[in-house]
Amino acid sequence: MEKIKLFDKTFRLFIRNAEIEAAIDKVAEQINKENEDCCDIPVILCVLNGSMMFTSALMKRFTFNCELVTIKLASYAGTSSTGEVKELMGFTADVRGRRVYVIEDIVDTGTTIVELEKKLKEHGAASIKICTLLFKPESYHKDLPIDYVGISIPKAFIVGYGLDYNEVGRNFEDIYVIDEEGDAPRMKYYVLFGPPGAGKGTQASAMVERYGLHHISTGNLLRKEIAAGSELGLRAKALIEEGSLVPDEVVEGMIASEFRSVKGVNGFLLDGFPRTIAQAKALDEMLASTGEEVTAVVSIMIPDSMIVERISGRAAVEGRADDADVSVIRHRIDTYHAQTEPEITYYKKSGKYFEVDGVGTIDQVRERIFELVDRF
C-alpha cells in the first residue's frame, strides 16, 4: 500500500519491506560473524513492544546458540532522592558474566537504551551491545555507542514493522512516514493532563517555548478577563463574588475568545480545561466549528505516593498549611482521578491520548514530552 490512515493521520510509504529485509540480513551477518567461534550462549534482549518483529526476523537468521529474553521498562518512586527508579518488567534472565545484545526497533534520543544499559551493568552483564533496525543520528546525542544499525533515517515520525501510532500500525510489513501533503500543517491544540505535583506548570513553559504555543490556564484566563472588564469577565466576577461556580459556558466562551484573538502562534496548550466529558465534547464542537480538532492529550503520569511526597514537601518550603495535611492531599488526588479517568477513556477512543512518565528529573521528563510532541 502506498498510503495508510491511522486515526487522524495519513502516512505514505517510506521504506519497502525488501529494503528492511536487506538491512536485517546485513545486521544478522555482522552478529553471526562475531559469534562464529564463541562457545558461550549470549542473551538476545527484545525491548517490547516495538522490536518484536525485528527480533523475530533476526533470530531466524542467527546461526549460533542464544537465549531470548523480553523486557519492558517502567518507573516507580520512593527509593531514591530523585524519585526515579527504572524497573525491568518481565526481566528474569541471569545475565551475570554474560554477553547481552539489546534489540531495539528504533533509537532516536536514546533515553531508553541509556537507562537499560545502566540496569544491565547493575545486573552484572559482561558486555552490552546495542542493535537497532532504525537510527536517527540527528536526534541522538548520547555517549553510548550504537553497535549495529540497520537503516539510518532523518527526524520523522514513522509507523510499521513494529512501530506504532498510539498502539496501532505495528503490523504493516513496510514502514510509513507522515504524509505532509495529506496532513498539511495547521494550528495545534494540546490538552495537558497531570495530577497535582506532576510538574505541569514547569513542563507547560517548556512546551510553549519550544513549539511556539499559547498557554491557556483557566485560572489565569478568568483573572485576565476580569481585569480587562470584558463582558464574560464581568459575568464571571459577579458569579465569583456571590459565591457561585463559574458555569461551563462562561469558561468555554473565554477560551473561544482566546482562540480567536491570539495571533502569531503555532497552537494552544490547554491546562485545566477540559475537566469533564461535557467540557471535552464542548471543546470538540468549538474546534470543529472552524475545521480544527484536538491534536493530542499529553498526560504526565506519576504515582499517588509521589503526589503526596511532592505536595507535602512543597508545603514545607512554601509554608502552605492546606498542602501539609495528607488527608487534604489524598482528597485532591481522589478528585483528580474521578474527574480525569472518564476523559482519558473519551480521548483514548479517538487515539489522541498519550501518557508521559513524569518520574525523574525535570530535564528527563521534558525530553520525554518533546519526544512525544515532536511527532505532531
Catalytic residues: 200, 275, 314, 320, 332
Q: Which residues face 9 on adjacent strands? A: 6
| Helix, strand, coil percentages in the chain from 3-state DSSP, rounded to 5 | 40, 25, 35
The torsion region of residue 360 among left (phi > 0), alpha (psi -120 to 50) and beta comes to: left
Reference 9, options 154, 212, 136, 159; nearest CA is 159
Name the grid cell of 207.
512546551
DSSP state letter for 160: B
Name the grid cell of 310.
511532592
Task: Tell me, rounded to whole angstroms, the distance of Cα 220 from its chain centroid.
Answer: 26
Name the grid cell of 204.
507547560
Cβ of 146: how many Cβ atoms within 10 Å?
19
Q: How far apart are the first and last CA of the chain?
A: 23
Contact status, residue 117 vs residue 144, Cβ threshold 8 Å = yes
Contact status, residue 160 vs residue 172, Cβ threshold 8 Å = yes
At position 196, the amino acid (one-letter code) is P
Nearest-angstrom CA–CA distance, 117 and 134 = 18
SS3 at position 219: helix
Contact status, residue 345 vs residue 352, Cβ threshold 8 Å = no
Q: Which residues face 89 on adjacent strands? A: 72
